[in-house]
Chain A
């Protein structure tokens, strides 16, 4: 939401170019009470003043000796600093030719003398409000462009950082696994030292996997935001994909004390992106384990001829109704970071993938009664 400043704007500055001393005095009297008025008695003097200082409005008489109002208009429009300054011309003659000449020279409005003080005030007021509105729009557009540039820089950085992090993670992963392999090969003579070493290396390996998942999420953010979610549909059997995801999460589920039960009503084969859909199932399972309070988790798969339905149900703390929409947003979570660390991207990523597959994702939950996440996927996506 944009906030428009409520601060009092400084009084607008108006330049009046008028060769008639009486008319000049009248302008000063009428306009000077509300705005800051500068007076010029000749066209060339008015031009120099307009070029030398910023005005919010120029009012000029057409018929003046030397530089006429129309020529003044042309010259102001030709200069970069004055090309956008609002300009009102005034003339004694109401001829159409003169009005058109004035407008063609760049005037924004035309006043025919004699005019009432009230008409002058209304026209000036309207012109100044338009200018002010145009200026605010330009400022907002600039602020929006600047915000978009900042977001782009952030996403570029996330992308570059994620790429850079993958090489050291590869090194770390290879070294850990090589050490684990060595520890396992000497476990023939099982000793407390070897067992302890094995346990610690296994812990390092888990953290490497976690680190890699976090990097993947960061990279996904930048790709999804730029609309670069590149799906590669292939024929896949959802049952085997879910079984693989459950297998992948088995250690975390066991250590959280939440057994995962999988029930399938009928075989589901369809065209989807294997990696991305695997990510959806893994993220939903990961959440169920994280928030499931050590109670069983149920995964159910069902389908008809057009839609596949996946449900992941936990019996944990649940999600308050007012937070159920928000949890699908980026960097959002239904709980505090301190209790359950993470980037708050898992469900957002799920939603991006499911949306890209033209499917839907939703949640049903009662606080204290757990949560059921449902994904519906058209089988021909």
Chain B
């Protein structure tokens, strides 16, 4: 099997999105980027499903929470694990419907460790 695990990165900060994609591509993944949640929903519904979604919460138009609600309602996407990326420490106070949390700023090691744990168990 030469196919690289496919990851979907959703963040309205283009530079961060691309930096994450670069780092994950270097680490051997196929990284797909979406700068807004609408595009992310389309990408996760159509085409090969990613084995993990890295999701920002604070995005204009559709937030990460709204994305998550729609994702969970759709049988094509509801089983894809999601790692939330946020700068907001308050998020730890509330139960969050996600599989893991990466608090910004996170390091490359923290990112890879988190991604590997999901890809390995996929």
Residues of A at under 8 Å CB distance from B?
Answer: 162-164, 166-171, 173-175, 177-178, 181-182, 208, 212, 219, 223, 230
Listed from nearest, the 5 A-B pairs whose CB atoms lie closest are A166-B87, A177-B108, A170-B105, A169-B105, A166-B104
Whether the pair A170, B108 counts as a contact (CB closer than 8 A) is no
Whether the pair B13, A171 counts as a contact (CB closer than 8 A) is yes
Known A178-B23, A178-B26, A230-B93: A167·B87 in contact at CB below 8 Å: yes
Residues of chain B contacted by A173 (CB below 8 angstroms):
105-108
- Chain B 83-121, CB within 8 Å of chain A: the 1/0 string? 001011100110000000000111111010000000000
Q: CA A94 – CA B68 in complex, angstroms?
A: 80
Query: Does B40 interact with chain A (Cβ within 8 Å)?
Result: no
- Chain B 2-15, CB within 8 Å of chain A: the 1/0 string? 00000000000101
Whether the pair A174, B111 counts as a contact (CB closer than 8 A) is yes
Residues of chain B contacted by A182 (CB below 8 angstroms):
26
Q: CA A219 – CA B87 in complex, angstroms?
A: 11
Residues of chain B contacted by A174 (CB below 8 angstroms):
16, 19-20, 22-23, 107-108, 111
Residues of chain B contacted by A169 (CB below 8 angstroms):
104-105
Whether the pair A171, B87 counts as a contact (CB closer than 8 A) is no
Q: CA A163 – CA B105 in complex, angstroms?
A: 10
Residues of chain A contacted by B85 (CB below 8 angstroms):
170
Most chain B CB within a 10 A radius of its CB, from A164, A169, A178: A178
**Of B88, B105, B108, which contacts A212 at CB under 8 A?**
B105
Known A163-B87, A178-B26, A181-B26: A171·B19 in contact at CB below 8 Å: yes
Q: CA A212 – CA B104 in complex, angstroms?
A: 10
Residues of chain A contacted by B19 (CB below 8 angstroms):
170-171, 174-175, 178
Known A166-B87, A167-B87: A177·B13 in contact at CB below 8 Å: no
Whether the pair A163, B107 counts as a contact (CB closer than 8 A) is no
Known A163-B88, A219-B89, A230-B93: A178·B108 in contact at CB below 8 Å: yes
Number of B interface residues in the complex (CB < 8 A): 21
Q: A169-B104, A170-B104, A177-B23 are in contact. List 5 more A-B contacts (CB 8 A).
A: A173-B105, A173-B106, A173-B108, A174-B19, A178-B108
**Of A167, A178, A181, A219, which contacts B16 at CB under 8 A?**
A167
Residues of chain B contacted by A171 (CB below 8 angstroms):
13, 15-16, 19
Q: CA A199 – CA B85 in complex, angstroms?
A: 30
A-B contact pairs, 23 of them (CB 8 A): A162-B87, A163-B87, A164-B87, A166-B104, A167-B87, A168-B16, A169-B105, A170-B16, A170-B104, A171-B13, A171-B19, A173-B105, A173-B106, A173-B108, A175-B19, A175-B22, A177-B108, A178-B19, A181-B108, A208-B105, A223-B89, A230-B92, A230-B93
Residues of chain A contacted by B15 (CB below 8 angstroms):
168, 171
Q: CA A156 – CA B93 in complex, angstroms?
A: 19
Q: Which of B8-40 contact A (CB under 8 A)?
A: 13, 15-16, 19-20, 22-23, 26
In the assembled complex, the CB of A162 is this many whole angstroms from the nearest CB of chain B, namely 8
In the assembled complex, the CB of B55 is this many whole angstroms from the nearest CB of chain A, namely 14
In the complex, the chain A residue whose C-beta lies closest to that of B13 is A167
Residues of chain B contacted by A168 (CB below 8 angstroms):
15-16
Whether the pair A170, B106 counts as a contact (CB closer than 8 A) is yes
Whether the pair B88, A178 counts as a contact (CB closer than 8 A) is no
Whether the pair B107, A178 counts as a contact (CB closer than 8 A) is no
Residues of chain B contacted by A230 (CB below 8 angstroms):
92-93
In the assembled complex, the CB of A55 is this many whole angstroms from the nearest CB of chain B, namely 53
Q: CA A230 – CA B16 in complex, angstroms?
A: 29
Residues of chain A contacted by B23 (CB below 8 angstroms):
174, 177-178
Residues of chain A contacted by B22 (CB below 8 angstroms):
174-175, 178
Residues of chain A contacted by B108 (CB below 8 angstroms):
173-174, 177-178, 181
